[in-house]
Amino acid sequence: MIFYFSGTGNSKHVAEELGKLLNTPVKNIADYYDEVTTLKKFSIGVEKDDFLGFVSPVHSWGLSKSMSRFLKRTKINYQGNKVFAVMVCGDTCGKAREMLSETLKKKSGIKCDFVCSIQMPNNYIVMKGFGTDSDELAKQKLSTAELEIPQIADAIKSGKTFDRYVVGGQPFLKGRIIYPLFMKFTLGDKKFFAEDTCNGCGLCVKNCPEKNITLQNSKPKWLGHCVKCLSCIHRCPKKAIQYGKVTKEMGRYYYKKGDS
């Protein structure tokens, strides 16, 4: 069984392709949120002979808040399964691998046997200095990913080495200092707003994995528990959703089948 979190579709695509190749079910962790957030002891069972995998986007060189919360609040009934994780990043991963492994070990006593990273197109556009990739670079990343996903699946099944985890420079600074600051101070949604071009279609409400958006007077209203997955801003068909003054001239990206 593979558990994934995804905002713009990158991690979902990787998880679904791995699920097909490994012949194992794929589960969106957002489907479990009601239980995870309301029950003190929420547990999930995994068949003894099945794989146990996690596919998560990298946020600010660390583990996405949604996956971190899921792992911390969920007891996984581990039966000696082969455990793997794939960290989906735009460029580098920092300490995301260690964060996932540490959380799994502490909460459920599970040792992660295999962790790798895979690059997909960048989508972090709510801070100066970041942005989407050029069309050429995005296509290159997607093409490379399509080649690597079967290699990852083969390594998981066979126990072969797939030594691909892009740490990047200054991992301690990014993972142990910048990441905690990011989680504490930048996950708010007060700067999100919809311009007059918004037609009230409600796709932002439908696509938000955190159920953090509702419609008020046919315009999106954010409810205060955003994790900065940016699904709303990237999937808006009118490009009407903005974040302060930063995103007006920024590109938009979400995974669409056939892009690669």
**155, 114 contact by CB (below 8 A):** yes
Q: pTM to 2 decimals?
A: 0.94
Residue with tokens 């995301």: 96
Query: Which architecture, in CATH terms, is 187-243?
Result: 2-Layer Sandwich (3.30)
Print the SS3 string covering 58-111.
EECCEECHHHHHHHHHEEEECCCCCEEEEEEECCCCCCHHHHHHHHHHHHHCCC
| Per-residue model confidence (pLDDT) at position 260 | 60
Q: Which CATH superfamily does the domain covering 2-182 fall into?
A: Flavodoxin domain (3.40.50.360)
What is the full per-residue pLDDT of the chain (260 aa) written as tens digits? 999 999 999 999 999 999 999 999 999 999 998 887 777 778 888 888 899 999 999 999 999 999 999 999 888 888 888 899 999 999 999 999 999 999 998 888 888 888 999 999 999 999 999 999 999 999 999 999 999 999 999 999 987 767 789 999 999 999 889 999 999 988 999 999 999 999 999 999 999 999 999 999 999 999 999 999 999 999 999 999 999 999 999 999 999 987 66
CATH 3.40.50.360 domain range(s) in the chain:
2-182
Pairing between strand 62-63 and 74-77? unpaired
> CATH 3.30.70.20 in the chain, residues?
187-243
